[in-house]
Amino acid sequence: MKKRLEASFLAPLRNPELRQLYGKSLRGGLLLYGPPGCGKTYLARAVAGELGAAFLHVSLADVLDMYIGQSERNVAELFRQARDSAPCVLFLDELDAIGQKRSLTRNSGMRTTVNQLLTELDGIGSDNDGVFVLAATNHPWDVDPALRRPGRLDRTLLVLPPDRTAREAILRSHFAKRPVERIDLAGLAKRTDGLSGADLAHLVDSAAEIALMESVRTGSARMITMADVQTALRDVRPSIGPWIETARNVALYANESGEYDELAKFIRKHGRR
């Protein structure tokens, strides 16, 4: 996934001369999608560090305002700010908060906000050069199709649950600043198939909590042990289950155009486990 992010987003961004040579414009943005807690927001933050460009992170839920007209003004202001800080990556997190299919948004205030966003993405009457849009959602199928037309958020990247190697690395990073004794990271990674990054973070938190509570009780601090992790593991359920169910339906019944081929492949593999 890092490789694909590099190819479709970072490399063209870093090489303006090559862009010019191949006549590739940087219009349009990249939409990260996938199950909750698997690192979309985390990844976007990492992109900021990677680029050395200014980075503007907004959750779209925060842009929406109950007062008629205010949400559009917020969106316009956001893009103005992004253009002022160019070169700049504008990260629109939780895109589904606004980009809901227009047929779903009965509230007409919401519709004008979507239109404002479309206008800004098209750069009508303004210059979007040097503003790169990255967006994220758990539910791309609820995102207004108009937002995903060419020149807008036209590229997608599926962010999947961590594989074994990634799980081991995530566990290691979450244990790194804690007092631990003989934790079998490789073994744990093997037994946590299906857990998201957020689930793994929660697992480590719960194990730490068990050790903490006992230390409070006995009055002397002790290490976090493998037994604590095993106890914690009994209560951790994969949180992506409901998402998988929805995604399965989309992959089966709403993939005529092939836009969810990557998702369908993941779902088939997931089903075989």
Q: Residues in the site for ligand ADP, rule: CB under 6 A?
A: 36-42, 170, 173, 197-198, 201
The candidate with the shortest Cα–Cα distance to 85, out of 133, 152, 131, 44, is: 131
- When CB distances to ligand ADP are compared, the closest residue is 197
Of the two residues 128 and 240, which places its CB atom closer to ligand ADP in the complex? 240
Smallest separation, CB 40 to Mg ion (Å): 5
Smallest separation, CB 195 to Mg ion (Å): 17
Judge residue 216's burial from the number of C-beta atoms within 10 Å of its C-beta, 0-12 exposed, 13-18 middle, 19 or more buried: exposed
Smallest separation, CB 209 to ligand ADP (Å): 16
H-run or E-run covering 77: helix 70-84
Q: Is the dihedral of CA 70, 72, 73, 78 positive or negative?
A: positive
Of the two residues 128 and 137, which places its CB atom closer to ligand ADP in the complex? 137
Of the two residues 235 and 256, which places its CB atom closer to ligand ADP in the complex? 235
Smallest separation, CB 20 to ligand ADP (Å): 34
The candidate with the shortest Cα–Cα distance to 78, out of 89, 67, 37, is: 89
Of the two residues 100 and 239, which places its CB atom closer to ligand ADP in the complex? 239
The candidate with the shortest Cα–Cα distance to 196, out of 41, 35, 44, 40, is: 35
CA within 13 Å, CB half, 70:
7
Give Dmax over CA atoms of the chain in angstroms.
69
Written as six digits, the tokens of 156 are: 């997608």
Strand partners, 156: 31
Of the two residues 36 and 87, which places its CB atom closer to ligand ADP in the complex? 36
Q: Which does 37 bind (CB under 5 to 8 A by kind): ligand ADP, Mg ion, none?
A: ligand ADP
Smallest separation, CB 176 to Mg ion (Å): 22
The candidate with the shortest Cα–Cα distance to 91, out of 147, 50, 45, is: 45
Contacts of 197 (CB under 8 A, 6+ apart): 37, 38, 39, 42, 161, 162, 170
Of the two residues 201 and 236, which places its CB atom closer to ligand ADP in the complex? 201
> To 5 degrees, how large is the angle CA 106–CA 112–CA 117?
120
Smallest separation, CB 130 to ligand ADP (Å): 26
Q: Which does 165 bind (CB under 5 to 8 A by kind): ligand ADP, Mg ion, none?
A: none
- 137 touches Mg ion (CB under 5 A): no
Written as six digits, the tokens of 265 are: 């492949």
- 239 touches Mg ion (CB under 5 A): no
| 10 in Cβ contact with 51 (< 8 Å) | yes
Of the two residues 33 and 260, which places its CB atom closer to Mg ion in the complex? 33
Q: Which does 42 bind (CB under 5 to 8 A by kind): Mg ion, ligand ADP, none?
A: ligand ADP
Smallest separation, CB 60 to ligand ADP (Å): 13
Quick note: the x/- pattern for Mg ion over 18-57, rule CB under 5 A, is: ----------------------xx----------------
Strand partners, 57: 91
Query: Which residues of this protein are in contact with Mg ion, per CB under 5 A?
Result: 40-41
